[in-house]
Chains A and B, each alone.
Chain A
Amino acid sequence: MERSAADKSTLLTYILTLVFIGLFGLWIKGMDIASGREAAGLIIFSLGFVMLSAYVLARIVEWVHVPLISGYILAGIIAGPYVSGFLTDDMVGRLRLIDDLALGFIALMAGGELRLALISRRARSIVLNIVLITLLVTGLVSVSILGLGQFFDVTREFDFQRLAIFSVLAGLICVTLSPASAIAVIKECRARGPFTGMILAVTIALDVLIITLFTVGVSLSKILVTGGSIFQLTEISGLIFEILAALLVGVIVGQTICFYMARVRQDLVMFLLFMTFAVARLSLGFNEWMEVQYNISLHLEPLLICMSAGFYIQNFTRFGGELIEGLEKAALPVYVLFFSIAGASLDFDSLMICWPLAVLLVGVRVAGLMGGSWLAGIASNDPAVFNRNAWMTYVPQAGVSIGLAQIAARQFPEIGIHLNTLVLGIIAINQIAGPVTFKLALSNVGESGRAKTGQG
C-alpha cells in the first residue's frame, strides 16, 4: 500500500521523538547516582521513559501492521536488562507494582466485555473449544516431553516418574492463555462480533479452568511421588470454595462500583483505578494474613474477582456501557505501562538455557491449539473462516502460567526450577508472536473495526 507524504512525515517525527527520548535515557544512565533522592529520581524517570518510548515505538511498528501491544512489549525488551540494560532487574522489580493495578484493570475490562447473550448463543462452541484445546494441548505437549525428553538438557537427567510429572504439569501450563493481551488487541482493533466474543470467553474461561485442573494435576503428582493412594479431595474442594469466594467478592466489588456510579458519577476513571489496585493488593494481603494467622491457604485470585465484577456489572446491571466507557478512558496508559514492563520482565536467560525444548513446545502447543479449535469449530458448525483463524488468537500467553509454574516449583523443588525456566522461555516466545497472530486473525475474520470506540 502506498503511503502518503503526511504519513511518512509522521513516521519521521516518531523516529525523531524516539531518538530524543533515547538520548535523554543515555545521558541519565551515564550519570553517577549518589543520593537516595537521585535513585528515586532515576526510578521515576525510568517510568516516564518507558511510558513515552513504548508509546512512540508502538506507533512506529504499527507502520508495518504490528499490533501496538507488540510495540509496547518490544520497547520493554529493548529498555530491559537483556538488551540496553537501561532498566535493571531491580528497577523492573519495583515497577512491577504497576502489574497489580494494570492486571486488575484489564481483568475488569475483560469481564465487562463478556456479554451473557453472546456467550449463551455460542455456548456449544465455547465449551467444545475449551475441552478440545485443553485435551489436545495437554496431551500433545505431555507426549512430546515424554517421548523426546531424553534429547534435551533440561529434562535429560529426570527418571521416568519425574519426567511424567514434569510433562503433565508443563502440558497443563501450556493451555493457559493471556486475557490481558486478548482484551488489549481486541480494543486496539476495535473488534466486535461473534468470533471476538467467542475467543474472549474461551480465553477467560480457560484460565479459570486450568487453575482448577492444575491443582488436580499437582495433587495426582504428589500421590505419584509419595506413593500414597488417597486423593486429596480437601484440596479440590478448597479450590472450588476459593473460586466461588472470588466470584462472590467480585459481585460485591461490582455492586460497590455500581453504587458509586449511581450516587457519585464523577471521576469514575480514578475510582476504577483505585478499586482495581485496592482489590489486587488487599486480596493478596488477605491471603498472606490468613496463611500467617490461621494457617489457612486461601488464594482469593484478584484477577478472578475483577473479571467477575466486570461480568456482573455488564450483564446484571444497567451500568455496563458506562463502565466500559470509563475503563477505556484510562486504558492507554495502563496498556502501555503494563505491556512494556511485561516486555522488560521477559526472561531471556531462561530462553537461552532451554530454547530447543521451548521452541519445540511452542510448535507443539500451536499444533494443539490448531487441532482443538478446528475440531471444536467443525463440531459446532462454525463458519470455516472462524475455524481456520481461531488458533491464532490463543497463542499469547502470560501471567497465570508463571504463577502455576511457581506453584509447581514449590510443590516439586527437584523439577520445579526446570519447569519454571521452561515456562518463562515459552512465554518469551508466545508473548512476542501472540499479539501479531491475534491481530491477523481478527483481520482475517473481518471483525476488526466493528466496535464504535477503541483504544490506541
Chain B
Amino acid sequence: MKIILAFLLVIFLVFVGYHLSFRRLKVPLFARRLYLTGMEFLFIGLALGPQFANILDKETSDGLAPLSALVLGWIGMLFGFQFEIASLRRFPGIYFIAGFLESFITLVIVFTGVYLMLPFAFNVSGGARAAAALVVAAAAACTAQTGLALIPASRTAASHAIIKFLRYLSSIDGLVSMLALVPVYLFFLRFGHRADSAFGLGFGYNILIGAVIFVSLITLYSLFLSQRREENELALIIIGMVIFISGFSWVVNFSPLLSNFFMGICLVNLTSDKEKIFNTLVSIEKPVYLMLLIFLGSIWQLDQLSAIAAAGVYFLLRFTGKTTGGFVAALVARGREGWHPGLGWGLMGQGGLPLAILYDFHLGSGLADITGPVVGIILIAIIFSDLLSPGLTGYVLKKEA
C-alpha cells in the first residue's frame, strides 16, 4: 500500500509541479534560475526521502523500480532524438570537432581528478573506482542550455552566432558523455567487482553480444514501424518498446538510458515517422524529468558537511575542464580571431542529462554505498552550477557583443 501511495504522491506532485513550474507561475528572475530548471523537485524528493518524511524509503523506491527504468529509458530515447544527422550537418564539420574536443577535455580533466581523489574519499578501488570516476566525468561533460534560456532576448539578439555555437556544443557534450558510459556498462558493471581480471575476452564478447542485441532491437522497431500507424498505435508501440528495452537492459545488466539513447539516434535517422514519435516522447518529457528529480532527491544524502567541500572540488574540476575545453573549442572553430577565450563559461549549466546518468549508475552499479554520497556531492555542485550559469553565460555574451 505504501508503494502505491508513494506512487500516487509522486505523480500528483509531478503533475501539479509541472504546471506550476513550466506553465503557470511567474517568479522573479533570480528565483527562476533555480525554479525554471525544476531543481526544486530535488528538494521535494529530499523531503520525501528517508532523511525526512521517509515516504520514499529504500523498500518503496525498490517497488517503484519499474517506473525508474521507464523514466530513464524515456529520457535516453528523447535525448537520442536530438542527433538527427541531417540537422547536425547544417553546422560546419569543424564545429563537431570543436565540440567533441571541448567535451573530451572536460571529461579527461574531471576523470583524472576524481580518479585520484576517490580512494581518499571512499574505500573504492579497481574497476569500481574507474567506473565511478568515468560516470562522474561523463556527468560533468554534459551541458544544459538553461543558462541561455534564462537570459533576456534583448541581450541575446546581438550574439546570434555564439549562441548557436554554444547550443551546438551543448548537444555534442551529451553525445560524448553517453559514449563515455558505454565501457562502464559494457564492461565494468557486467563483471561487477571482478573488473580487474576480466578485461580481454569478456570485453570483446560483450561488444559482440551487445551488437547482436542492438541490431535485433532495431529490426523489431523497423517491423513495427513498417506499417502506417495511427497516433494511438504509435504511442503504444513507443511506450511498449521503451519498457521492453529498459527491462531487457536491466536483465542483462546494461543501462536503459544508454540503450534507449542509441535506439533514439537510430530511429530519428531511419524512420519516416520521426515527427510523430518525437511528439509522443516530448508530450510527457517534463513530467518524466520531474519524476527523475524527485527520485534523485530521495537518495540525496545531506548528512555530512564535507559533502559541500567535495562538491566545491568537483565544481572546480569541471570549471577547469569547461574553461580549457571552451578555449580549445573556440580556437578550433574560429582560429585566433575567434570568440572570447572564456567561451567555456557559457557552458557551466548542467541540466537534466547528468542527473539521469547519475541515477542510472546508482540503480545499476550495485555500489549504492559509494554512489549515494557521490550523487549527493554532485547534486550540490549541479545546483551551484545552474545558479551561476546564467550570470556566466551573460558575461560571455556581453564580451562578444
Per the 8 Å Cβ criterion, residues 299-339 of A in contact with B are: 328-333, 336
Task: Determine which of B235, B242, B249 lies in contact with A41 in the assembled complex, contact meaning CB atoms within 8 Å.
Answer: B249
Residue pair B287, A44 in contact (C-beta under 8 Å)? no
Nearest CB in chain B to that of A285: its residue: B1
Task: Determine which of B240, B246, B249, B287 lies in contact with A51 in the assembled complex, contact meaning CB atoms within 8 Å.
Answer: B240
Per the 8 Å Cβ criterion, residues 1-56 of A in contact with B are: 10, 13, 16-17, 20-21, 23-24, 28, 31, 33, 35-38, 40-49, 51-52, 55
List the B side residues contacting A266 at CB < 8 Å.
19, 23
Residue pair A48, B223 in contact (C-beta under 8 Å)? no
- Give CA–CA (A264, B23) in the complex, Å: 10
Residue pair A332, B235 in contact (C-beta under 8 Å)? yes
B224 within 8 Å of A (CB atoms): yes
Residue pair A45, B244 in contact (C-beta under 8 Å)? yes
Nearest CB in chain B: distance from A305 CB, A: 16
Nearest CB in chain A: distance from B60 CB, A: 13
Residue pair B23, A44 in contact (C-beta under 8 Å)? no
Residue pair B247, A47 in contact (C-beta under 8 Å)? yes
B36 within 8 Å of A (CB atoms): no
Given contacts A45-B244, A47-B66, contact A24 B216 (CB under 8 A): yes
Residue pair B232, A20 in contact (C-beta under 8 Å)? no
Nearest CB in chain A: distance from B12 CB, A: 7
- Give CA–CA (A455, B235) in the complex, Å: 13
Task: Annotate A275-286 by CB proximity to B: 1 below 8 A, 0 otherwise.
Answer: 001100110010
Residue pair B247, A20 in contact (C-beta under 8 Å)? no
Nearest CB in chain B: distance from A32 CB, A: 10
Given contacts A17-B223, A20-B223, A270-B284, contact A55 B237 (CB under 8 A): yes
Size of interface on B: residues with Cβ below 8 Å to A: 50
Other A-B pairs, 17, CB within 8 Å; known A97-B4, A333-B240? A13-B227, A20-B216, A21-B220, A24-B248, A37-B364, A41-B246, A45-B248, A46-B247, A48-B247, A49-B244, A49-B247, A270-B287, A277-B8, A281-B4, A288-B1, A332-B233, A336-B236
Residue pair B23, A42 in contact (C-beta under 8 Å)? no
- Give CA–CA (A333, B242) in the complex, Å: 13
List the A side residues contacting B364 at CB < 8 Å.
37
Residue pair B8, A456 in contact (C-beta under 8 Å)? no
Q: 9 pairs across A/B with beta carbons < 8 Å? A: A10-B227, A23-B216, A24-B248, A36-B62, A44-B65, A44-B70, A52-B241, A55-B233, A333-B235
Residues of chain A having any CB pair with chain B under 8 Å? 10, 13, 16-17, 20-21, 23-24, 28, 31, 33, 35-38, 40-49, 51-52, 55, 97, 264, 266-267, 270-271, 274, 277-278, 281-282, 285, 288, 328-333, 336, 455-456
Residue pair B253, A38 in contact (C-beta under 8 Å)? yes
- Give CA–CA (A375, B320) in the complex, Å: 86
Task: Annotate B297-333 by CB proximity to A: 1 below 8 A, 0 otherwise.
Answer: 0000000000000000000000000000000000000
B387 within 8 Å of A (CB atoms): no
Task: Determine which of B23, B219, B253 lies in contact with A20 in the assembled complex, contact meaning CB atoms within 8 Å.
Answer: B219
The 5 closest A-B pairs by CB, nearest first: A41-B250, A45-B247, A48-B244, A44-B247, A48-B243
- Give CA–CA (A456, B228) in the complex, Å: 14
Residue pair A52, B1 in contact (C-beta under 8 Å)? no
- Give CA–CA (A285, B5) in the complex, Å: 9
Residue pair A51, B243 in contact (C-beta under 8 Å)? yes
Nearest CB in chain A: distance from B299 CB, A: 15
- Give CA–CA (A46, B248) in the complex, Å: 9
B11 within 8 Å of A (CB atoms): yes
List the B side residues contacting A288 at CB < 8 Å.
1
Nearest CB in chain A: distance from B277 CB, A: 15
Residue pair A37, B247 in contact (C-beta under 8 Å)? no
List the B side residues contacting A270 at CB < 8 Å.
15, 284, 287
List the B side residues contacting A44 at CB < 8 Å.
65-66, 69-70, 243, 246-247, 250
List the A side residues contacting B253 at CB < 8 Å.
37-38
Q: Please classify the interface of chain A as helix (H, G, I), strand (E, B), loop, or mixed, using the class held by over half of its residues.
A: helix
Nearest CB in chain A: distance from B363 CB, A: 7
Nearest CB in chain A to that of B8: its residue: A278
Residue pair A40, B240 in contact (C-beta under 8 Å)? no
- Give CA–CA (A20, B252) in the complex, Å: 18
> What is the number of contacts between chain A and chain B, taking CB atoms within 8 Å?
142
Nearest CB in chain A to that of B283: its residue: A267
Nearest CB in chain B to that of A51: its residue: B240
Nearest CB in chain A to that of B284: its residue: A270
List the B side residues contacting A51 at CB < 8 Å.
236, 239-240, 243-244
Nearest CB in chain A: distance from B311 CB, A: 28
B251 within 8 Å of A (CB atoms): yes
Nearest CB in chain A: distance from B163 CB, A: 29
Given contacts A37-B363, A285-B1, contact A456 B248 (CB under 8 A): no
List the A side residues contacting B250 at CB < 8 Å.
37-38, 40-42, 44-45
B337 within 8 Å of A (CB atoms): no
List the A side residues contacting B252 at CB < 8 Å.
31, 41
Nearest CB in chain A: distance from B345 CB, A: 36
List the B side residues contacting A43 at CB < 8 Å.
66, 247
Nearest CB in chain A: distance from B384 CB, A: 31
Residue pair B251, A38 in contact (C-beta under 8 Å)? yes
B126 within 8 Å of A (CB atoms): no
- Give CA–CA (A322, B23) in the complex, Å: 22
Task: Determine which of A20, A41, A328 lies in contact with B248 in the assembled complex, contact meaning CB atoms within 8 Å.
Answer: A41
List the B side residues contacting A36 at CB < 8 Å.
62
Residue pair B244, A42 in contact (C-beta under 8 Å)? no
Nearest CB in chain A: distance from B97 CB, A: 38
B245 within 8 Å of A (CB atoms): yes
B269 within 8 Å of A (CB atoms): no
Task: Determine which of B223, B230, B243, B245 lies in contact with A16 in the assembled complex, contact meaning CB atoms within 8 Å.
Answer: B223
Residue pair B232, A455 in contact (C-beta under 8 Å)? yes
Nearest CB in chain A: distance from B252 CB, A: 8
List the A side residues contacting B226 at CB < 8 Å.
13
- Give CA–CA (A277, B5) in the complex, Å: 11
Nearest CB in chain A to that of B231: its residue: A329
- Give CA–CA (A329, B69) in the complex, Å: 24
Nearest CB in chain B to that of A17: its residue: B223
List the A side residues contacting B233 at CB < 8 Å.
55, 332, 456
Residue pair B15, A271 in contact (C-beta under 8 Å)? yes
Residue pair A456, B220 in contact (C-beta under 8 Å)? no
List the A side residues contacting B227 at CB < 8 Å.
10, 13
Nearest CB in chain A to that of B223: its residue: A17
B366 within 8 Å of A (CB atoms): yes
Given contacts A285-B1, A285-B5, A329-B232, contact A41 B11 (CB under 8 A): no
Task: Determine which of B12, B224, B232 lies in contact with A274 in the assembled complex, contact meaning CB atoms within 8 Å.
Answer: B12
